[in-house]
Amino acid sequence: MMTPALAQESELEAVQLYSDEQLVEMFEDNSHLRQVEQVDRCQLIQDIEAQAALEKRPTYQFLYGDMLAWGVCYERDVEQGIHYMQIAADQGLIYALEQLGRYYHEGTLVQPDIHRAIVYLREAASLGNLAAQKRFADIMIAGKGSPYDFPHAYHWLHNAVTGDEEQHREIRDKLNQLARLMPASAVQQARQKNL
């Protein structure tokens, strides 16, 4: 007969550390926090922290920062969480750039700062992040950015690739709004493959 402690132990499985590719997939569908907390039951927290702090891997810095900021498997530490997200963004991790841009745009965990939002979102958009491209265009359409950024916002959206028909409509609407704010020659230039 199995004791309750042994039965519980047998339910636990050893969890392997995530590859960078696995983390990127989780970031793309925003399942990373659920994975570490609910699926893996916080078994990897020491390894995650070591990969972030000692190995300085951007994917793990972002994961660790997000976990700290939202109190997932760790005591909540928003300041330290944003710090680690910032380190990952400084190394060019597209998901950290987009998330910090969104946070500064919305005022999530930080004070709203449209200038910082634009910096992060412009970089993530230039690297092909569709969420950043759409949000960056929204900021331009709202008149909060520089007219010099309009052609970039248009260019990135015009060249975006998605199989989702709703996103196609959303992109088309944003392109029409941007085109109304730009000279026709700038729109034509922004439609080119390379800007």
One domain, residues 125 and 188:
yes
Question: Token pair 């660790």 is at which residue?
Answer: 64
Closest alpha carbon to 195 in 98, 126, 122 = 126
Q: Is residue 96 part of a domain?
A: no
Residue 15 pLDDT: 59
Residue 68 in any domain: the answer is yes
Based on the structure, what is the number of domains in the chain? 2
CB–CB of 123/96 below 8 Å?
no
Residue pair 28/43 in contact (Cβ under 8 Å)? The answer is no
Return the pLDDT at 194. Answer: 81
35 and 79: one domain? Answer: yes
Looking at the domain assignment, is residue 85 inside a domain? yes
Last residue of a domain, one of 28, 57, 91: 91
Domain boundary (91, 108, 143) is at 91
pTM for this model (two decimals): 0.88
Q: Report the pLDDT value the prediction gives residue 3, as an integer from 0 to 100.
A: 46
pLDDT reported for residue 11:
53
Domain that holds residue 50: 15-91
Asked if residue 72 belongs to a domain, the reply is yes
Extract the tokens encoding 162: 């998605």
CA torsion sign, 59 to 53 to 77 to 123? negative
Same domain, 124 and 81: no
Weakly modelled stretches of the chain, pLDDT under 70: 1-15
Q: In this structure, what DSSP letter does residue 79 have?
A: H
